[in-house]
Amino acid sequence: MNPKRRFVVLAAAALVLAAAWAAAPRWMGLPDYAGWRAAHRSSEAWLLDRHGEVLQSLRLDPRVRRLPWVELDEISPVLVQAVVATEDHRYYGHHGVDWLAAGAALRDGLVGRGWRGASTISMQLAAKLDPELAGTAPGSRRAGAKLRQVLAALVLERRWSKREILEAYLNGATYRGELAGIAAASRGLFGHAPATLQPAEAWLLAASLRAPNASPARVARRACRAGQLEPAACAELTSLAQSALAAPRAIPPDADAAPHLARRLLKLPGERVRSTLDASLQRAAQEVLSAQLDALGVRSVRDGAVLVVDNQSGDVLAYAGSAGRDSRAPAIDGVMARRQAGSTLKPFLYALAIESRLLTAASLVDDSPAGIDTGAGLYVPRNYDRRFRGTVSLRTALASSLNVPAVRTVSIVGLPRLHAQLGRLGYAGLNPDPEFYGSSLALGSAEVTLAEQAAAYRALANGGARGALRLRLDESLPKPAAVIDARAAWIVADILADREARAPAFGYENPLSTPVWAAVKTGTSVDMRDNWCIGFTRRHTIAVWVGNFEGDSMRDVSGVSGAAPAWFALVRLLQQQEGEAPPPPPEGVLASTVEFVPAVEPRRREWFLAGTEVTRVARAEDAARRPRIVAPEHGLVVALDPDIPSARQRLPLLADSSEAGLAFTVDGKVIGAAAGGTTWRPTPGRHRIALTDKRGAVLDEVEVSVRGGTAGAR
């Protein structure tokens, strides 16, 4: 080495040693390779299935696009060569600092030729590891920071291997715009993984490192110089730069099987959430739903959703929020969107009637035209096919989804009781005032979600015990709570699985007739806006909705032509996991052979709650003649008069029955016998007045409000 060059190198080394004391506190804290790699955070998050398979990736960091760490063996050797040649051509020959380059840079600065950088790859990485070394942290000085970079690079190369440094550098560098790290740069600019980068692509990426936002032409010129390319190759590279660097392409997700659930569960960049979904079932559910929506396209149906739940655990195994190829709003989550329930709430109405011993599965109900006074006009319910079937059993009314018997059953059970029961089942979006719906609540005028429907029907499958649905494997759920009498739940499930009872409305051959035991209910909302099919087997609850997210009507879609075929396909798919035999009746459910007089239905074996069984059903129950409250009427507002002594202000309680043993209660407290009527001294607030039988079962109830509170204060 000539004396002049030796002097420059020694001077540079002396300056580095002089900075050692100042740099010591900084370089001692540099992370090791394993720690830095573990701290790498992708801008993506991943939803995994219950077995660890990736279902969906979702970008959550809008500031930068960074993908998972890529090992050096998974990066094209051509890129590694290009980066070393462009950024640090003596990389493998130094120990963190290129003293020749540093000395030359110092010499040029001292003699007035201009200061130029001499940073090695190790020095650049050290600046990434600690922003103060880069001179970008608040209060830092660039000259001092450069000297500390030098020392940090020397220490770094003693702690890290050359491969580790190069790997970390390629994964941490910014290449173009928001693209950080070699994985995002390779996919975002060229559409494939770093391992398959071609030479021209590699040279462009390497040339982008020094000026990530330079024009494509400038990057191409630098790449041509660094690669010493021939004119023809340089022209090809320049063309590639114009097409690839001008507008980076969108990076597709790693997987795209559950986008709606991913948006619900993924919150932090870099996280991996293990869901309860099963990848194979999830994809199958998407395909089944998509195929059914394709078939319904001619009937103006664009959207749909599916939920498959494990009855025992509550784990959601499939979650398809949308699958319509022609959807105008595919981002809407159909599992959580509120839609009119249609006839899907009827099973809970009849379960309440059976549980309260007001009706049995053999009770005869009237399916004939009726006008219901709603206070705002006359409501005339009709069946889906606009036919009336006269006197039928409750079993037939529910299985065939007849509307008029359901509305009449509301008057037997009591609208407030039905409203409260639906609330206990988890239908959280109900208007708090039952009168908002009136009798149409039985026909599904309330708006519900597919998730609520699945949870409520799972309660029927589990003997009336309602539990939350689980979406994450690490989630702990509270113990299910009984909301329906287990015996009533079993009888309703038996009705929903009864092919004979379903036949008057749906026939014998339809998608509700499955090869395994299954209880199922369909529903269609007013104006054909929503169609549901929800049911359960011994092991799974399957809920399907089809319609249009914008709310426009479907054309000629019935209970068995809309959602039911997709429901049936999923039952067949799960068939091998199911039991063909029905679940056994619980204790307290008895079978009795019943005969109808007149013979409106054939003689058959029927199931009853113990104590309600009969062998002969002679006439239809008349809802108008059942024991009911005549006064006060539901919703009455009573205003106390402050000029009348409170003891003199009494509210008459009257029933239309003289049956012995009936009593009035107010807020659960017995007021007096119902025979002949009684009176109650009102107090301010809202009160529930009930008519009960001798066993304490509620036969009818109303709610009244009392205002005032200074009566008799004179």
Q: For 693-709, what is the mean pLDDT? A: 83
Q: Which helix (H) or strand (E) holds 308?
A: strand 303-310
Q: 627-707 maps to which CATH number?
A: 2.60.40.10
Q: For 8-33, what is the mean pLDDT? A: 57
Q: Does domain 3-41+68-245 have CATH number 1.10.3810.10?
A: yes
Distance of alpha carbon 223 from the chain centroid: 48
- What confidence tens digit (pLDDT) does each residue in 453-493 have? 999 999 999 999 999 999 999 999 999 999 999 999 999 99
Tokens 């959703």 correspond to what residue? 305
User: What is the model's pLDDT at position 390?
Assistant: 86
User: What is the model's pLDDT at position 138?
Assistant: 47
Name residue 409's amino acid.
T
> 612 Cβ partners below 8 Å, 6+ apart?
357, 360
User: What is the model's pLDDT at position 6?
Assistant: 52
Tokens 């709650």 correspond to what residue? 609
Mean pLDDT is highest, among 167-176, 643-652, 683-692, for 167-176
- What confidence tens digit (pLDDT) does each residue in 371-399 have? 554 444 445 566 665 567 789 999 999 99
Q: For 262-279, what is the mean pLDDT? A: 97
Q: In whole angstroms, what is the distance from residue 335 CA to residue 546 CA?
A: 11
User: What is the model's pLDDT at position 14?
Assistant: 53
Q: In whole angstroms, what is the distance from residue 543 CA to residue 566 CA?
A: 10
Alpha helices (H) in 439-485, listed in sequence order: 450-461
**Residue from 129, 167, 157 nearest 36 by CA:** 129
Tokens 């599904």 correspond to what residue? 444
Q: Which residues pair with 685 in a beta bridge?
A: 706
The pLDDT confidence band at residue 509, using thresholds 50, 70 and 90, is confident
In the DSSP assignment, the letter for residue 176 is E
User: Are 3-41+68-245 and 316-355+389-605 the same fold in CATH?
Assistant: no
User: What is the model's pLDDT at position 623?
Assistant: 39
User: What is the model's pLDDT at position 12?
Assistant: 53
What are the boundaries of each domain within the chain?
3-41+68-245, 316-355+389-605, 627-707
Alpha helices (H) in 297-446, listed in sequence order: 346-355, 394-399, 403-413, 415-424
- What confidence tens digit (pLDDT) does each residue in 280-291 have? 999 999 999 999
On the question of pLDDT at 633 being above 50, the answer is: yes
> 640 vs 612, which has greater pLDDT?
612
User: What is the model's pLDDT at position 375?
Assistant: 44
User: What is the model's pLDDT at position 667?
Assistant: 93
The pLDDT confidence band at residue 117, using thresholds 50, 70 and 90, is low
User: What is the model's pLDDT at position 698?
Assistant: 85
**pLDDT-above-90 percentage for the chain:** 67
On the question of pLDDT at 617 being above 70, the answer is: yes
User: What is the model's pLDDT at position 598?
Assistant: 87
Q: 316-355+389-605 maps to which CATH number?
A: 3.40.710.10
Tokens 């309703």 correspond to what residue? 492
Q: For 8-26, what is the mean pLDDT? A: 50
DSSP string, 662-713: -EEEETTEEEEESTT-EEE---SEEEEEEEE-TT--EEEEEEEEEE---TT-
Q: In whole angstroms, what is the distance from residue 486 CA to residue 426 CA?
A: 17
- Half-sphere exposure of residue 137: CA atoms within 13 angstroms, side-chain side: 13
On the question of pLDDT at 305 being above 90, the answer is: yes
- What confidence tens digit (pLDDT) does each residue in 534-581 have? 999 999 999 999 999 999 999 988 878 999 999 999 999 999 888 778
Q: For 98-109, what is the mean pLDDT? A: 66
User: What is the model's pLDDT at position 500?
Assistant: 95
**Residue from 253, 192, 251, 186 nearest 47 by CA:** 253
On the question of pLDDT at 521 being above 50, the answer is: yes
> 291 vs 115, which has greater pLDDT?
291
Q: In whole angstroms, what is the distance from residue 153 CA to residue 695 CA?
A: 87
Name residue 160's amino acid.
W
Task: Tell me how far CA of residue 357 lies from CA of 116, 352, 498, 587, 626, in angstroms.
Answer: 93, 9, 21, 16, 13
Q: In whole angstroms, what is the distance from residue 292 CA to residue 381 CA?
A: 30
The pLDDT confidence band at residue 513, using thresholds 50, 70 and 90, is very high
User: What is the model's pLDDT at position 559?
Assistant: 74
On the question of pLDDT at 620 being above 60, the answer is: no
- What confidence tens digit (pLDDT) does each residue in 350-364 have? 999 999 999 999 999
Flag the least confident range among 58-72, 115-129, 421-435, 508-522: 115-129
Flag the least confident range among 14-23, 115-124, 452-461, 584-593: 14-23
Considering the chain, what is the average pLDDT of its residues?
Answer: 88
On the question of pLDDT at 22 being above 60, the answer is: no
Q: In whole angstroms, what is the distance from residue 460 CA to residue 645 CA?
A: 51
